[in-house]
Amino acid sequence: MNKPLTTSEMASDDLGPLYAPHKKVYPQHVSGTFRRIKWGLMAFCLGVYYLLPFVRWDRGIGAPNQAVLVDLPNSRFYFFFIELWPQEVYYFTGLLILAALTLFLMNAIGGRIWCGYLCPQTVWTDVFYAVERLVEGDRRERMKKDADTDKGGLKLQRFAEILLKHSIWLMIAWWTGGAWVLYFNDAPTLVTQLVTFQAPMIAYIWIAILTGTTYLLAGFAREQVCVYMCPWPRIQAALTDEWALNVTYKRDRGEERTSLKKAAELRAAGQPAGDCIDCYQCVAVCPTGIDIRDGSQLDCIQCGLCIDACDTVMTKVGRPTRLIGYDNDINIQRRAEGKAEIYKIVRPRTLVYAAIIAVVGGIMLYALLNRSLLDVNVLHDRNPIAVRLSDGSIRNAYTVRLLNKRGFDRVVALDIEGPTNAVVHVVGADSVTPDRPMIVVKRDSTTELRVLVTAPAASNPEKSIPLKMRVTDLGLGEVATGTDNFVSP
Amino acid sequence: MAHHDENFDAATGKTTTGHSWDGIKELNTPLPRWWVLTFYACIIWAFGYWIVYPAWPLLTGHTTGVIQYSSRADVAVELANLEKIRGDKMVTLGAAPLAEIEKDPALLALARARGKAVFGDNCAPCHGSGAAGAKGYPNLNDDDWLWGGSLDQIQKTLQYGIRSGHAEAHEGQMLAFGRDGTLKKPEIVTVANFVRSLAGLPTAKGYDAAAGTKLFADNCAACHGDAGKGNPEMGAPNLTDNIWLYGSDEATIIETVTNGRNGVMPAWIGRLDPATIKALTVYVHTLGGGQ
């Protein structure tokens, strides 16, 4: 029954207040399928995050042998067999597109799987909750202890508990920040430096920042991040559709909720009775403190813990499980009409997402496997754009950058295709065979050259003509070409 | 009863300040406490600032503040740091023989970078930012060098300048044959056309080639050579090529012969340190015209 709104309620915003005063959430321990999945994924995610910097990858002498490394001083990014240069940041764009599409696909299939199981906020908050439970006890104990503390001041034992909890939290937070900086420097070296206080100041600053944010976000902000700070709930609400599986309370089965005793009486009398016994277990275990029976809502991160809690209760009272379960909007409608439930994972939306992911991923993989390891960039001098020499010939100057992405020095020759009989001169060329300058390009680096191209008077082009510069690795035969123009004054 | 208070606003359930403008009253909404505290903190901060930093203007100066801060001193420190950073590299460059610099990729890159920056600050006003020159100011990208285009010659020109007044400066005069009365107007026209013929340019109708040849031999060959090929020792231009510092049309050459041309290039020794002049030499040499 809806109560009529009071005047002040009508005067307030129709959508409710933008921010509700914080009510502390005391999630209760629960065990079951989804809890086990969450433990597993948590161990996996944290394992990857904390241990990945220590994985080695042999790249030869002089190159870093860390599998995943962001080498800022040398502007290189290493990821196992991949080495990216600053010119190749578009791979990160591709990665972001892939990440967004994967999120969309996950959303189309199973709602906020990301939020419930994989989001760092969820994972670390879950760890922090586990610590809290270990130190202070489960929901009831924690509520009682907090209430006692509010009433009777801080007892010594309680103080010790709180101190222990925060110490463990800070240690986890510190280790989280510590692992972060290991991605930016050789991990074993940096660990030694950190311990002996020899590490660069910036490392300590970043550890402090990540320690602080982890401690604050996972220890205190918790579900507030999901509800007030994160844009994803808002965005995903626009992306989801009637086929997406969401954690749902099956209202048709649960209502009218009654006590266990009354339900038994009703059933004995051959009358229908709801399965929900209003035990509030689903609310007690919820990490965001919501009641899933109110329907799909922004605050729900869809972690499935209420499913585990409800299943436990249903098993105890001898009713079928999955009164709360992953379900879609279509089935809510169909059950109301007495039709069979249907689930569709393969449908146009998921197929399109999967196809785009496959295409983008394919393009990226192709580009990565075929990325050129020798490159030449040509830039024409603009001032002056062309010079007439005393014998009437014309000279154009270029700034040419050679990129050697291989792990060893190599000798390349520069050839040009342009004006007839044009002569090429490279300032500071290492050696010159007749009209063919040779240049040494050091391993994993670039070399900038000043290249002068002179066209004799007899073959002066009338107008601007295309010019091709071709560099050839004399050892491997690899060829790269750059193009520009040859201009007459 | 609050509701009968004249300072009570029924619509919002709040009190007003009691001020009324044309019947419009202002709600008495207190500032948020955090805002007020921040405001007070700013005031306290300002007092601290007055004491610590230079803040108050006085009749003949200003308060210096207890930490004696000066942005000018900061700049001096930054500049000193810059010199320290450059230090070793520029010393290495200063010690290296000119001819070796272009063979060492690291030194070449340093010399070109430093040279380019110094060129922009000191040379670009006359020679242009790309050293393309202008009328009367040589293009340093081409291969025509009045005083020679080898590394040593470029360095010498940079150090001492041309007609700069420095004792070591390049000296050479293009005489004002018309102004000082050596040649009459018709003779100047004739010799100008002869000069154009040297460079393969067309001559005016009715031009007397024999007279031109004789006039040139008598007046010009001493510096420019019998064939007009010029002489870098005296800065005398080659008159047979395609490059003309002041222009190759008849009127310009007539003016050159009549009034002379004596452009000035300042001496940079003493203004730029030797290592920087070296860098500049290499930069200019590698622009393309170096010999």
In this model, does residue A222 exceed pLDDT 90?
yes
Q: How far apart are CA B119 and CA B277, in angstroms?
A: 10
pLDDT at B8 (0 to 100):
84
Using left for φ > 0, alpha for ψ between -120 and 50, and beta otherwise, residue B230 falls in: left
In this model, does residue A15 exceed pLDDT 70?
no
- Residue A415 has a CB neighbour count (10 Å cut-off) of 15
Best residue in B144, B146, B287 to probe A by mutation, most A CBs within 10 Å?
Answer: B287
Contact between A405 and A83 (Cβ < 8 Å) = yes
The DSSP symbol for B142 reads S
pLDDT at B274 (0 to 100):
93
In this model, does residue A10 exceed pLDDT 60?
no
- Average pLDDT (B62-71) is 90
Burial class (CB in 10 A: 0-12, 13-18, 19+), A144: exposed
CA angle A109, A113, A119 (to 5 degrees): 145
The pLDDT tens digits for A157-169 are 999 999 999 999 9
In this model, does residue A4 exceed pLDDT 60?
no
b/e A311-350 (16+ beta carbons within 10 angstroms → b): bebbeeeebebebbbbbbbbbbeebeeeeeeeeeeeeebb
**Closest B-chain CA to A384:** B132
Sorted by sequence, the CB contacts under 8 Å of residue B12 that are 6+ apart come out as B27
- Average pLDDT (A18-22) is 74
More confident residue, B81 or B87: B81
| Contact between chains at A391 and B242 (C-beta distance less than 8 A) | yes
- Interface residue ranges in chain A relative to chain B, Cβ cutoff 8 Å: 381-384, 387-392, 395, 397, 427-428, 447-448, 450, 452
- Average pLDDT (B255-282) is 94
* Share in percent of chain B as helix, strand, coil (round to 5): 45, 10, 45
Contact between A55 and A68 (Cβ < 8 Å) = yes
pLDDT at A16 (0 to 100):
56
**Distance between A437 CA and the closest CA of chain B, angstroms:** 13
- Average pLDDT (B168-182) is 93
pLDDT band at A18, cuts 50/70/90?
low
A389 closest CB neighbour out of B143, B286, B287: B143
Contacts of B141 in chain A (CB under 8 A): 384, 387, 395, 397
Worst-scoring range by mean pLDDT, A102-116, A139-153, B240-254?
Answer: A139-153
In this model, does residue A7 exceed pLDDT 60?
no
In this model, does residue A8 exceed pLDDT 70?
no
Question: Between residues 97 and 116 of chain B, which touch chain A (CB distance below 8 Å)?
Answer: 102-103, 105, 108-109, 112
In this model, does residue A105 exceed pLDDT 60?
yes
Residues in chain B: 291
Q: How far apart are CA A240 and CA A234, in angstroms?
A: 11
Best residue in A8, A382, A385, A388 to probe B by mutation, most B CBs within 10 Å?
Answer: A388
- Average pLDDT (B202-231) is 93
**Distance between B255 CA and the closest CA of chain A, angstroms:** 22
pLDDT at A22 (0 to 100):
80
Q: How far apart are CA B199 and CA A45, in angstroms?
A: 80
**Closest B-chain CA to A453:** B288
| Contact between chains at A387 and B139 (C-beta distance less than 8 A) | yes
pLDDT at B14 (0 to 100):
83
> How confident is the prediction for chain B on average, in pLDDT?
91
The pLDDT tens digits for A386-408 are 999 988 899 999 999 999 998 88
Worst-scoring range by mean pLDDT, A13-17, A113-117, A363-367?
Answer: A13-17
Contacts of A431 in chain B (CB under 8 A): none
pLDDT band at A1, cuts 50/70/90?
very low
pLDDT band at A17, cuts 50/70/90?
low
Q: How far apart are CA A456 and CA B242, in angstroms?
A: 13
pLDDT at A9 (0 to 100):
46
**Distance between A347 CA and the closest CA of chain B, angstroms:** 53
Q: How far apart are CA A130 and CA A168, in angstroms?
A: 11
**Distance between A442 CA and the closest CA of chain B, angstroms:** 11
Contacts of B143 in chain A (CB under 8 A): 389-390
Q: Whole-prediction pTM value?
A: 0.74
**Residues of chain B with pLDDT > 90: what percent?**
77
Taking each helix axis from N to C end, the angle separating B71-95 and B274-285, rounded to the nearest 10 degrees, works out to 60
> How confident is the prediction for chain A on average, in pLDDT?
91
**Distance between B288 CA and the closest CA of chain A, angstroms:** 7
pLDDT band at B4, cuts 50/70/90?
low
The pLDDT tens digits for B17-48 are 888 889 888 888 888 899 999 999 999 999 99
Best residue in A382, A387, A430, A460 to probe B by mutation, most B CBs within 10 Å?
Answer: A387
In this model, does residue A6 exceed pLDDT 50?
no
Show the 3-state SS of chain A.
CCCCCCHHHHHCCCCCCCCCCCCCCCCCCCCCHHHHHHHHHHHHHHHHHHHHHHCECCCCCCCCCECEEEECCCCEEEECCEEECHHHCHHHHHHHHHHHHHHHHHHHHHCCHHHHHHCHHHHHHHHHHHHHHHHHCCHHHHHHHHHHHHHHCCCHHHHHHHHHHHHHHHHHHHHHHHHHHHCCCCHHHHHHHHHCCCCCHHHHHHHHHHHHHHHHHHHHHCHHHHHHHCCHHHHHHHHCCCCCCEEEECHHHHCCCCCHHHHHHHHHCCCCCCCCCCCCHHHHHCCCCCCHHHCCCCCCCCCCHHHHHHHHHHHHHCCCCCCEEEECHHHHHHHHCCCCCCCCCCCHHHHHHHHHHHHHHHHHHHHHHCCCCEEEEEEECCCCCCEECCCCCEEEEEEEEEEECCCCCEEEEEEEECCCCCEEEECCCCEEECCEEEEEECCCEEEEEEEEEEECHHHCCCCCEEEEEEEEECCCCCEEEEEEEECCC
Worst-scoring range by mean pLDDT, A7-11, A27-31, A173-177, B166-170?
Answer: A7-11
Question: By the CB < 8 Å criterion, does B287 face chain A?
Answer: yes
- Average pLDDT (A249-255) is 90
- Average pLDDT (B133-147) is 93
pLDDT band at B265, cuts 50/70/90?
very high
**Closest A-chain CA to B243:** A390
The DSSP symbol for B134 reads B
pLDDT band at A14, cuts 50/70/90?
very low
| Contact between chains at A450 and B286 (C-beta distance less than 8 A) | yes
pLDDT band at B105, cuts 50/70/90?
confident
Tokens 């190749």: give the residue. A88
In this model, does residue A2 exceed pLDDT 50?
no
3-state secondary structure of B182: coil
pLDDT at B102 (0 to 100):
87
B144 closest CB neighbour out of A390, A397, A450: A390
Tell which residue, A485, A481, A435, has the closest CA to residue A463: A485
**Residues of chain A with pLDDT > 70: what percent?**
96
**Distance between B58 CA and the closest CA of chain A, angstroms:** 42
Q: How far apart are CA A307 and CA A290, in angstroms?
A: 13
- Residue B102 has a CB neighbour count (10 Å cut-off) of 19
Contacts of B241 in chain A (CB under 8 A): 390-391
pLDDT at A13 (0 to 100):
43
In this model, does residue A450 exceed pLDDT 80?
yes
- Average pLDDT (B168-180) is 93
The answer to ipTM > 0.85 is no
Structural tokens at position A69: 């490394």
The pLDDT tens digits for B227-247 are 999 999 999 999 999 899 999
